[in-house]
Structure 1
Amino acid sequence: MPRNSVLTSRAAAPKGAYSQAIRAGNLVFVSGQLPLDENGNLVGFADIKAQTEAVFRNIEAILAEAGSGLDQVVKTTVFLTDLSNFHGMNEVYGAVFSPPYPARSTVEIGRLPDGMLLEIECTALSEREQQ
């Protein structure tokens, strides 16, 4: 099965040896997205809701480039630097998705760079299979 990199200018460019996402068959694996705008600038310093919204804008743009969308997400992993931010993140998350909600894991991690409060990765289905 071929696997192809997904790249859009509507989300922050990768700053390392990874792809924004990989398409394999009818699956899209989106790398962990940070609360950055398309120019790589932090969005919503110390504001979990603004940062969560920024992360989902990036995920949405990447999924669109891959021929998918937020309504096709089947699994997410949320990394929080402080679990006390769970409720603010979850409020935005609940507005982004509708039932049946994707499967989700949420874990607290040590830290992220530059005041970032969360990172989210996901797996989604794609309407078209990768050629």
Structure 2
Amino acid sequence: MERTIIQTTNAPEPIGPYNQAVLVNGTLYISGQICLDPTTNTLKNRDIQEETHQCMQNLKAVLYEAGMSFDNVVKTTIFITDMHQFSEINEIYGKYFHGNFPARETVQVAALPRFVNVEISMIAVK
């Protein structure tokens, strides 16, 4: 099995012992992204829309570094701290796929890193 570590300065540095993404046999496994701005290392969390947008921008940067786009995404997982924000998150999230939606689950959790409200991970295939 050939593993390639994907790393870009256009997405936040990992805040723990993991990689931004790992590419194995044409499948890209992207670690969960939160609303951390990679240029300022600050949270973009004025509201849930801004948080979701920054998560998606971070994921986009990792996909790009691996030579992929949202068209390559086959599976996502969304972790949220308040299911009442589901529709607002969905509205921003959906705009990135242009109708080519992947499989997905959305799970409410008690807390997320840095106490943000949303974290998204993805699996993409070349």
TM over 0.5: yes
CA distance in 2, matches of 1:100, 1:114: 31
CA distance in 1, matches of 2:113, 2:20: 18
Residue correspondence of structure 1 range 51-90 to structure 2 within 5 A: 51-90=51-90
Instruction: Supply the distance in 1 between the matched residues of 2:99 and 2:91 (Cα, whole angstroms).
Output: 14
- How far off its partner does 1:87 sit? 0.6
2:71/2:100 contact within 8 Å kept: no
Q: Tell me how far apart the structure 2 counterparts of residues 62 and 36 of structure 1 sit (CA, whole Å).
A: 14
* Paired AA for residue 31 in structure 1: S
For the aligned residue pairs, the C-alpha RMSD in angstroms reads 1.1
Q: Provide the residue aligned with 1:48 in structure 2.
A: 48
Q: Note if contact 2:79-2:108 (Cα within 8 Å) is conserved in structure 1.
A: yes
Q: Pairwise mapping of residues 102-117 of structure 1 onto structure 2 (< 5 A)?
A: 102-117=102-117
Q: Which runs of 5+ in 1 are unaligned?
A: 127-131
Structure 2: unaligned runs, 5 residues or longer: none
TM-score by length of 1: 0.91
CA–CA separation in structure 2 for the residues paired with 1:26 and 1:65: 14
Give the equivalent residue in structure 2 for 1:21.
21
Q: Distance in 1 between matches of 2:36 and 2:71?
A: 22
Q: Compute the displacement of 1:78 (Å).
A: 0.2
Number of residue pairs the alignment of both structures matches: 125
- The 2-side partners of 1:102 and 1:109 are apart by 22
Deviation at 1:115, TM superposition (A): 4.3
